[in-house]
Amino acid sequence: MGTLDGKVALVTAGSRGIGRGIAEALLVEGASVVMTGRSADKGEKALAEIGLPDRTAFLSGDATSRADVAGWVTSTVERFGRLDVLVNNAGGSDGFALVHELSDEAWDKAFTFIVDSAFWATRAALPVMLENGGGRVINISSVEGKMGNKATVAHYISAKHAMNGFTKAVAFEYGQQGITSNAICPGAIETDLMVEVGPRFAEENGVTYDEYKSAYAKDAAIGRLNTVEEVGAMAVLLAGPAGAGITGAMLNVDGGTSPY
């Protein structure tokens, strides 16, 4: 028996990276999991690799589209009859630059992708959770949501700080209705996305990709990058019965990088 038998989770951007790690961890504990993403091909590949057709589904769409995000919640309930756990994992940024050179487009995109997508999904999920008598909202923030010591990512840092504030607001408003709201703040993890984006970001900061990764590892007390499995384990804790008394928390899975 898993700790999440009979529960249904929606994991945005769940076909790879941190989202995929969380989805697989929830599945091990018995949950049914709906993953979302922009690429239907990547979604189908993820479903085939996981190999649990009765307890998994993939929904394609864009996390920067209000209609797509709200539709994911509706489709999850249509597919599995309920929604108990929402993992707002979608989010990122581009157009990296110092503040005086940062574009409106990059700033707006970061907030839409990170903050707005979490708001839209949570707003749609809360009525379902209230009807069920409880639920879990888990926002994937970042160590950068607690710090501000990296250049050219002010838009990402600011949006992750805002996500943490939203997490606490939801926790306060819905705690007495059995709904918890927490944020996981991972440190650096070498996901597919980091492999794609990291070299360009490193070049813009005048270092090699290996130097970029090493800098994150040196900042951590454990002397290495974190793993998606470590983030997945934290998500399982928050999603399950043992997490019922944890809410409004910004929980680090950063190897000791953040000072608090």
- Whether 83 contacts 8, CB under 8 Å: yes
Active site annotation includes 156? yes
Coil/strand/helix, residue 132 = helix
234: its two tokens: 């934290």
Instruction: Give the DSSP letter of residue 70.
Output: H
CA atoms within 13 Å, Cβ hemisphere of 199? 3
* CA-closest candidate to residue 12, choices 98, 117, 112, 88: 88
Which phi and psi (to 5°) does residue 3 adopt?
A: -70, -15
Looking at 156, 174, 209, 216, which residue is catalytic?
156
**CB-based contact 226:260 (threshold 8 Å):** no
DSSP 175: G
Q: Both ends of the chain: CA-CA distance in Å? A: 35
Q: Which residues are known to be catalytic?
A: 156
